[in-house]
Structure 1
Amino acid sequence: MTTPADRSVPLLPDNSVWLRGMRWWHVGFYTVLSVVVLVVLLLVDGDWTRAAMLVALGVLATAYPFLTRLQHLGSWRPTAYVVLLVCTVGLSAFLSSYGAILLFVAFPQIWMFSNTPRRGLVATAILCVVVAMGQLNLTGTDPENLRSVGLQVLVSFLGSSMIGLWIYKIIDQSEDRGQLIASLEATRAELAEAHKQQGAMAERERMSREIHDTLAQGFTSIVMLTEAAQARLRRAPTGGGIPGELAAIGETARENLREARALIASAGPSQLQGGDLLGALRRLGEATGRDGRRAEVFLPDVLPPLTSPEQIAVLRCAQEALSNVRRHSHAEEVRLTVDTQGGNLVLMVSDNGRGFPQEDSNGGYGLTSMRTRLAEISGTLAVDSAPGHGTRVTMTVPLAPHATGEIPKP
Structure 2
Amino acid sequence: MTALTGPSADVLWATALRRWNAVCWLLFAAMAVGIATMARSRGSMFAALGLLGCVVLCYALLDRFPDNPVVRPHGYLTVLAVALGGLAHLRTSYAALFMVTLPHYWMFGRTPRISMGFLGLATASTLLGSWLQQGWTAEFLGETTVSTLIVVAVGVLIGLWAHSVVAQSSERARLIEELEQAQAELSAAHQRQGAADERERLAREIHDTLAQGFASIVVLAEAARAGLAADPARSAQQLRSIESTARENLTEARDLVASGGRPGQAATGSVAATLRRVLDRFTEDTGLAVDADLADLDCDQPTRIALLRCTQESLANVRKHARASTVGVVLARRPYGVELEITDDGAGFAVEESSGFGLDGMRKRLAELGGRLTITSSVGDGTRILATVPPAGGLEGAA
TM-score, structure 1 normalization: 0.87
Cα deviation, residue 278, structure 1? 3.6
Query: Displacement, 1:148?
Result: 2.8
Q: Is 2:29 the partner of 1:34? A: yes
Q: Output the CA distance in 2 between the equivalents of 1:204 and 1:245.
A: 34
Shift of 1:84: 0.7
- The residue type paired with residue 279 of structure 2 is G
Give the whole-Å Cα distance in 2 for the aligned partners of 1:235 and 1:253: 25
1:390 aligns with 2:382: yes
Tell me how far apart the structure 2 counterparts of residues 264 and 313 of structure 1 sit (CA, whole Å): 20
Equivalent residue, structure 2, for 1:367: 359
> Which secondary structure does the structure 2 equivalent of 1:289 belong to?
helix
Shift of 1:138: 4.8
Does 1:260 pair with 2:253?
yes
For residues 79 and 357 of structure 1, the distance between their equivalents in structure 2, rounded to whole angstroms, comes to: 79
Q: Quick one: structure 1 residues 310 and 69, their matched pair in 2 at CA, closer, same or farther if it must change by over 3 Å?
A: farther
SS class of match (1:334): strand
Deviations 1:102-153 (A, max 9, x none): 1222211111111421121122122223323444555553336413333223
What do the CA deviations read for 1:189-248 (whole angstroms, capped 9, x no partner)?
Answer: 122112111111111111111111111111111111112212221314xx3333322211
Q: Kindly indicate whether residue 224 of structure 2 is the aligned counterpart of residue 251 of structure 1.
A: no
- Alpha-carbon separation, structure 2, partners of 1:275 and 1:261: 23
Contact 1:343–1:401 at 8 Å: present in 2 too?
Answer: no
CA shift digits 1:297-345 (9 cap, x unpaired) = 3322232x43x43333222112111111111122222222211222221
Q: Counterparts of 1:311 and 1:71 in 2: how far apart (Å)?
A: 72
Where does residue 5 of structure 1 map in the other structure?
none
In 2, the alpha carbon distance for the partners of 1:201 and 1:366 equals 18
CA contact (8 A) 1:213 1:316 kept: yes
User: Given the alignment of the two structures, is residue 113 of structure 1 paired with residue 133 of structure 2, yes or no?
Assistant: no
Partner residue in 2 for 1:150: 145
CA RMSD of aligned residues (A): 2.7
* 8 Å Cα contact 2:105/2:115 also seen in 1: yes
- Please tell me the residue identity of whatever aligns with 1:48: G
Provide the residue aligned with 1:283 in structure 2: 277
Greater mean alpha carbon deviation, residues 311-320 or residues 138-147:
138-147
Letter in 2 for 1:62: L
Residue 78 of structure 2 aligns with an amino acid whose one-letter code is V
- Pairs within 5 Å for 1:12-161: 15-68=10-63, 72=67, 77-138=72-133, 141-143=136-138, 145-161=140-156
For residue 330 of structure 1, what is the amino acid of its counterpart? Answer: R
After superposition, the Cα gap between the structure-2 partners of 1:203 and 1:363, relative to the gap in structure 1 and judged at 3 Å, is same
* CA distance 1:271–1:146, shift in 2 (3 Å): closer
Distance 1:52 1:364, change over 3 A: same
Aligned positions, number: 391
**Is the 1:36–1:99 contact (alpha carbons within 8 Å) kept by the matching residues of 2?**
no
For 1:180 and 1:283, how far apart are their aligned partners in 2? 62
Question: 1:9 — aligned with what?
Answer: none
**Is contact 1:226–1:249 with CA below 8 Å preserved after alignment?**
yes
- Counterpart Cα distance in 1 of 2:262 and 2:110: 67
Partner of 1:7: none
Q: CA deviation at 1:185?
A: 1.5
Give the Cα–Cα distance (whole angstroms) in 2 for the partners of residues 375 and 18 of structure 1. 55
205-214 or 310-319, which deviates more: 310-319
Name whichever of 328-337 and 196-205 sits farther off. 328-337
Corresponding residue for 2:339? 346
1:321 aligns with 2:314: yes
For structure 1, the residue ranges without an aligned partner over 5 or more in a row are 1-11
- Which blocks of at least 5 consecutive residues in structure 2 are unaligned? 1-6
Name the TM-score, length of structure 2 as normaliser: 0.89
